[in-house]
Amino acid sequence: MNKLVLNSESLNNVLDNKVISRQSVIGIYQNAVEDPSELFSTAQNLRKKFKKNSVTFSKKVFFNIVNLCKDTCSYCTYKAEPKEEKLSLMSKQQILELLQLAKKYRCVEALFVTGEKPEQKYQEARDWLKENGFKSTTEYLIHASELALELGLFPHTNAGNLNFEEMKELKKTNVSMGLMLENVSERLTEKGMPHYLAASKRPKARLEVLENSGKLGIPMTTGILVGIGETVEEIIDSILAIKTLHQKYGNIQEVILQNFQPKPDTMMKNSPSADENYFKIIVALTRIIMPEMNIQIPPNLSPKSYQSFLSVGINDWGGISPLTPDFVNPEFSWPEIDKVDENSKNSGFELKCRFPIYPEFFSFISKELRDKMLVIENGEGLVKEEYWR
C-alpha cells in the first residue's frame, strides 16, 4: 500500500504513529472546517490499519428497568415522573419474560438501564424495590444480570454513577459496563446549560466512576454527546480525558460519539441537532486522537446517512435491537439488522456481531463468564454467524 503523504504535517505525524498535541488537534480541526478531505482520509487509513474491513454491532435487548431519576438534564426524554405514562418499573416477572423472548430472538446482549439512583429521590422507587425484595437498584441489577447469564445472554449495565463497591459486585456478572462521560466541561453545568440540574453529570463525578472502572479492570464503554452547546475545544478535551484514562488502565473498550437530537418534551426542544459535517469532523478527530480505539455512532440517530460514517473512521454500530425500542431516543427506531448489513456491505465493509465485550478485552473478565461465551463464540472471539443471523 502506498504511504499516504499529506499537506498537513500534523496528520503525517499521526500516520507515523507520533503522538500529537492538543494544539495540533485544534489546528487539524480548523483546517478541516475549510476542507475535511485530508482529515477524513487519515481517519479512514487508521481505521483500516487497526480494524480492517469489518464493522461490528451487538444484537441486544434493552431493559428499561426503572426510569425514575434524581437528575434533570435539559435534553433528556428518558426520565419519567411517577404519574407519567412512560414510567417503567419492571417486575422480576417482566424481566424474566423479556429475557426469554430475547433468547428466542437470539439476542446476545442484555442492556440494563436505569435512572440515576432513583430510590434517593422517589418513594415510588423505594416501594418498587421493596415489592420485588431488594434494598437498592444495584441489588436488583445484580439479580437481573444473574438471570440473563442463566439464559445465555450477556449483561451490560448502564446505571449512572455507581460507586466502587457497586461496580465491584456487578463485575461478577457483567462482561462490560457503560457510562457516558458526555463532556468534561464545567461550563456545561452552569445555570442555563444542559447539565445545570444534573449533579451526576459533573465532570469530576463522571471521571471518578471511569477511574474506578479502571481500578477494577471493568471493560468500559464511554463517550461524548455532540451538539449540546459545547465548543470544539471542550470536545477535544473530553476525548483527551478518555484517552488519558485508557492509557492509565487500558480498560476503555469503546468510545460512543452521539449526535444530539432535540426531543419534543424537553427544555432543549428548539435547539438544532448536531450539524452532520461538524459531527463527521469530530468522529474523524476521535480516530486520530485514539487510532486503535473502537469508535461507534448510533445508526438510528443518523438514519439517512449512518453508512457514510464508515468512511470517516468508525468501526462499530453499537447495540441494535430486533425486539425493543431505544428508550433513550424513542422517536428514532433501530434500523433492521439486515438493512445495516446491506448498507455496510455496499460501503465495502463486512458486518459482524460481537459480544458486549470486544475480543481484545477478554482478559479482563472471569473464566466463568468466558466459559459461558464459548457456547456461541467463533474463532475470532465474535458471535457465530449462524447464531445471530
What confidence score (pLDDT) does residue 286 get? 98
d(CA 46, CA 292): 8
How large is the average pLDDT for residues 71-75? 73
340 and 299 Cβ atoms separated by less than 8 Å: yes
As a whole number, the mean pLDDT across the chain is 93
C-alpha count within 13 angstroms, C-beta hemisphere, residue 303: 9
Per residue in 287-303, pLDDT (tens digit) is 999 999 999 999 999 99
- Would you say residue 3 has pLDDT above 70? no
Phi and psi (nearest 5°) for 110?
-105, 105
How large is the average pLDDT for residues 243-248? 98
- Would you say residue 1 has pLDDT above 60? no
Domain spans of the chain, in order of start: 45-388
Residue written as cell 473512521?
313
pTM score of the predicted model? 0.94
Provide the Cα torsion 113, 184, 77, 190; round to 10°.
140
The class of domain 45-388 in CATH terms is alpha beta
Per residue in 77-93, pLDDT (tens digit) is 778 888 888 888 999 99
- Would you say residue 4 has pLDDT above 80? no
C-alpha count within 13 angstroms, C-beta hemisphere, residue 86: 14
What confidence score (pLDDT) does residue 224 get? 96
**CA angle, corner 315, sides to 309 and 321, nearest 5?**
90
